[in-house]
Amino acid sequence: MPRFSYFAALLAAASTVHAQTSTTCQPLNKTCPPDVALGTTHTWNFSSNSILDSTWNITNGAVDYTDNAMKFSIKKKMDSPTIQSNFYIFFGRMEYHVQAAPGQGVISSVVLESDDLDEIDWEWIGSENTQVQSNYFGKGETIAGTGLTHNLTGATTTDAYHNYTTWWDKDKLEWWYDGNLLRTLTYDNATNSSGTWYPQTPMTIRIGIWPGGDPSQPEGRIIWAGGKIDYDAGPYSMYISQISAQDFTTGKEYSYSDHSGNWQSINVTAGNSTISDKLNTKHETLAQKWANLAPGAKIAIYACVGGVLGIGLIVLLFCCVKQRRIGKREWNIQNNRFMQERTDMMNMQAEWRQKGYVEMK
C-alpha cells in the first residue's frame, strides 16, 4: 500500500492545512529544544463534561463533544480537525477507544509522530467498515510493504467503539485490536541496507479525520481512500471516548545527543515532568470533576439533590399556607375593628342629631 500520511495528503489541496507528517525542528539536521516528557501513565475520558485539558492542543479545525466522546467531523470541503499531545512518549503503550467515521473517501487516523518523522499509524477507510490498516515509517521516508490491511471478522469499525492498542518498545512494535494481536514488527525486521527503519525516537500523539477522497487529491490517493467523497452526504464523524498513554521512560525531558536518530542517542533528563505534575495535581473544573465521578456517586448526588429540593418545596408550601392563615386572621381583626369603629361613629352621629333636634325645639 502506498503511503498516505495524515495531513501530508492535504498539502496539494489546501495551503491553510498543516501537514501531520511535519516537524517544527528536524533533529537529524540541527540541535533542537528538548521534548517535554509524559513520564507517567494517564487516561483521558472525553465527553461534553470533560473536555481537552492543557496537555493537548487542537492543531487544525475544531472538535465537538457528545455525552461520552470527543467528535471529529468533516462538515464541509477540506475539513480536517486534529488534536496533538503537548507531551512526548519514549516507548510506551497507547490505547485508543475509537469509533471510526463512515463514508467513501473519509479517513480516520491515530498517529504517533516524532520530531525526526518516525511514525506509527492506525488508519480507517470509511467505506471499509470491517477493516483497519496499520503502518509505520522511519525518518519520514517511504518504503513498500510497511502498511498492512487487517480484516476484522464480525466487527464493524464505524458503528461501535473498539480498543486499538499500540505496544512500542526498543525491540518490537505491536498493533492490538480488542485484545487480539494483529501484527508484530521487530527492530531487526524493520531494517534494510540503507539503515534502520524502526520507529525509535520520542513521539507525540496525533488524532483526527481528513477527506482523502477530495477531488483535488491525486488519483491513487482517491482510490486508496475508497473513492471521491460526497460532502453533501455528510457530515462524517469519528469519535474518541478514551485515550490511555503509558510512557515507558520516566524523566522530565527527552533530547537528541547527535543527528543519528537512533534510540541510544536520546538523552533523558531526570526529574518530574511538568506534564506529569500537571496531571497529578488535578486542578479540575467542576465539569471535569463531575465527569470523573462514578455512576453510583452521580445517582447518590441526584437523590440527595432531589431530596433537598423536595424538602425545600414542602417547607415553602408550609410557609405559604401558614402566612396565608396569619394574613387572613390579621385581615379579619382589622376588618372587625373597622366595622366596630364605623358602628360607633354612626351611633355618635345619630346621638348628635338627636341632641340638636331637642335643643332647637
From CA 246, how far away is CA 253, in angstroms rounded? 15
Residues 249 and 329 in one domain: no
From CA 348, how far away is CA 287, in angstroms rounded? 75
Give which of 214, 244, 241 is closest to 226, Cα–Cα.
214
From CA 71, how far away is CA 21, in angstroms rounded? 22
Non-local (6+) Cβ contacts of 207 within 8 A are 72, 82, 83, 84, 96, 109, 110, 111, 240, 243
Domain boundary, last residue among 228, 257, 280: 280
Q: Do the domain assignments include residue 1? A: no
Question: Which residue range(s) make up the domain with 298?
Answer: 284-347
Q: Do the domain assignments include residue 7? A: no
Residue 216: which CATH number? 2.60.120.200
From CA 188, how far away is CA 171, in angstroms rounded? 8
Which of 113, 123, 128, 253 is the catalytic position? Answer: 123
Residues 96 and 179 in one domain: yes
Domain boundary, last residue among 237, 261, 280: 280
From CA 91, how far away is CA 238, in angstroms rounded? 26
Q: Do the domain assignments include residue 154? A: yes
Residues 211 and 233 in one domain: yes
Q: Which amino acid does the sequence have at 111? A: V
Q: Look at phi and psi of residue 311 and say left if phi exceeds 0, alpha if psi is from -120 to 50, else beta.
A: alpha
Torsion angle of C-alpha atoms 222, 229, 79, 126, degrees rounded to 10: -80
Task: State the pTM of this model.
Answer: 0.73
Which of 119, 284, 330, 359 is the catalytic position? Answer: 119
- How many residues belong to the chain? 361
174 catalytic? Reply is: no
The set of cell numbers assigned to 178 is 480488542
Residues 149 and 108 in one domain: yes
Residues 276 and 299 in one domain: no
Domain boundary, last residue among 242, 262, 280: 280
330 catalytic? Reply is: no
Q: What is the pLDDT along the chain (361 residues), one digit of tens a residue?
A: 334 444 443 333 332 223 346 788 999 999 999 999 999 999 999 998 888 899 999 999 999 999 999 999 999 999 999 999 999 999 999 999 999 999 999 999 999 999 999 999 999 999 999 999 999 999 888 777 899 999 998 889 999 999 999 999 999 999 999 999 999 999 998 876 566 789 999 999 999 999 999 999 999 999 999 999 999 999 999 999 999 999 999 999 999 999 999 999 999 999 988 898 888 775 555 555 454 444 555 576 676 666 667 676 776 776 666 677 776 677 677 767 766 766 767 777 677 667 664 444 4
Question: Which residue do the cell numbers 492498542 mark?
Answer: 165
For the beta carbon of residue 338, count every other beta carbon within 10 angstroms: 10
